[in-house]
Amino acid sequence: MRKKILLTGANGQLGNELQKLAPSYPQLQFFPTDIDTLNLCNKTELVSFFNTNKIDCIVNCAAYTAVDKAEDEIETCYRINRDAVQNLAESVQKQTQIIHISTDYVFDGTGNTPLKETDKTNPQSVYGKSKLAGEQILMKIKPESSIIIRTAWLYSSFGNNFVKTMIRLGKERDSLHVVNDQTGTPTYAADLAKVILAMIVRSEENGIFPAGIYHYSNAGVCSWYDFALKIHELAGIAAGKVHPVPTSGYPTKARRPMFSVLDKTKIRETFGIVVPEWEQSLRQCIGLWCAPDQAHFAISAAGE
Ligand SMILES: NC(=O)c1ccc[n+]([C@@H]2O[C@H](COP(=O)([O-])OP(=O)(O)OC[C@H]3O[C@@H](n4cnc5c(N)ncnc54)[C@H](OP(=O)(O)O)[C@@H]3O)[C@@H](O)[C@H]2O)c1
């Protein structure tokens, strides 16, 4: 029998990438939902959904991801990033597996060595604190059947993200300033989606669901400035438009970690995953730009 996979927040960046891959996994049956079809903040709706549908594994891509806005919308942010995770964990059967996505923003970013799953968390923003609260509640309720994947600097051909913003601004402006003292690694959501599905398939094959926290981003290290330069180069935007600026010269409402490179050893060794270099994945994503059928890559003026 095919394993039944519920995708929540399926209209977001990661959710769309998972839906795009679904036809390549005929052994899995997908149920994509989003806030309009399954609102995780509504526990009654959740209980009724799980009474009607037998789900084997949930990939929870639903989240409140507006990092700066969260500083003002604290309750809404916690309702989605913490309370909705609790609703989900409490509404499903004991054996239902949950793969939940979290963030590098659970760290304060004061170190300078790649962050391991066991490193001390100390979020500096409302978003980071709410995501950590979501992790903690999930691990309290379902420690044996939950996997948390912390990822970072996510982008995709779907939705709004840094890559699209840099391309749009590169076309609109002669010059733009991007911070060069925050260090991390971008993550192509399509790569993360592949990893999630590989984790599900391998766990099924091995008969073991290795619950716990895992870190995943692409490989390599860069600053937002390096990332922006590479985006412009690959998108064919004239060189010389991007200028480095320190974090102090680009104030934002939410404080971001200065160093949030994730150590991927655990996920690589547990699941035998090969992690692509960030430049290689960025090239692939921007390559979609030129494909005639990629209407979803239209750049929204709303940006991030
Ligand atoms: N984006 C990043 O840079 C980044 C970095 C690190 C980690 N992450 C984590 O990675 C995961 C996926 O991120 P993403 O960028 O794909 O997010 P996204 O594009 O913002 O998608 C999130 C989706 O969840 C939906 N949603 C919001 N509230 C919901 C609710 N109550 N019930 C059901 N669905 C709801 C959203 O709908 P609406 O759009 O209608 O609100 C949206 O479709 C998240 O857990 C995020 O915290 C993201």
pLDDT at 288: 80
Q: Give the number of the atom of ligand 1 that is nearest the alpha carbon of residue 160.
A: 19
Asked if 127 is an active-site residue, the reply is: yes
| pLDDT value for 299 | 46
Strands 222-223 and 183-184: antiparallel
Task: Compute the CA torsion angle 35, 89, 143, 98 (nearest 10 deg).
Answer: -40
Q: What is the pLDDT of residue 95?
A: 93
Instruction: Specify the pLDDT at position 300.
Output: 39
Q: How far apart are CA 146 and CA 214, in angstroms?
A: 11
CA–CA dist 126, 254 (Å, integer): 8
33 Cα: distance to centroid of ligand 1 (angstroms): 12
Q: How far is the CA of 159 from the centre of ligand 1 (A)?
A: 10
CA 73 to chain centre: 20
pTM exceeding 0.85: yes
pLDDT attached to residue 115? 98
**Which residue has a Cα nearest atom 18 of ligand 1?**
12
Sign, Cα dihedral of 87, 88, 89, 94: positive
Q: What is the pLDDT of residues 201-251, one digit of tens each?
A: 999 999 999 999 999 999 999 999 999 999 999 999 999 999 999 999 999
Instruction: Please give the average pLDDT of every successive group of 10 residues along the chain, which has 304 residues.
Output: 96 98 98 98 97 97 98 98 98 96 98 98 98 98 98 97 97 97 98 98 96 98 98 96 96 97 98 97 87 50 29
Catalytic residue among 64, 78, 105, 127: 127
Q: What pLDDT is recorded for position 30?
A: 98
Q: Which atom of ligand 1 is nearest to 65's Cα? A: 20
Q: What share of the chain is helix, strand, coil (3-state, %, to 5)?
A: 40, 15, 40
Residue 1 confidence (pLDDT): 85
What pLDDT is attached to residue 304? 27
Torsion of CA 218, 253, 259, 239, to 10 degrees: 60
Q: How far is CA 292 from the centre of its chain?
A: 26
**Distance between Cα 163 and ligand 1 center (Å):** 17
For the domain covering 3-297, report its CATH number: 3.40.50.720
Structure confidence at residue 291 (pLDDT): 58
- Cα separation of 158 and 164, whole Å? 9
* pLDDT one-digit tens code per residue, 271-289: 999 999 999 999 999 998 6
Q: Which residues line ligand 1 (CB under 6 A)?
A: 8-9, 11-14, 34-35, 39-41, 61-63, 65, 80, 84, 101, 103, 131, 151-154, 159
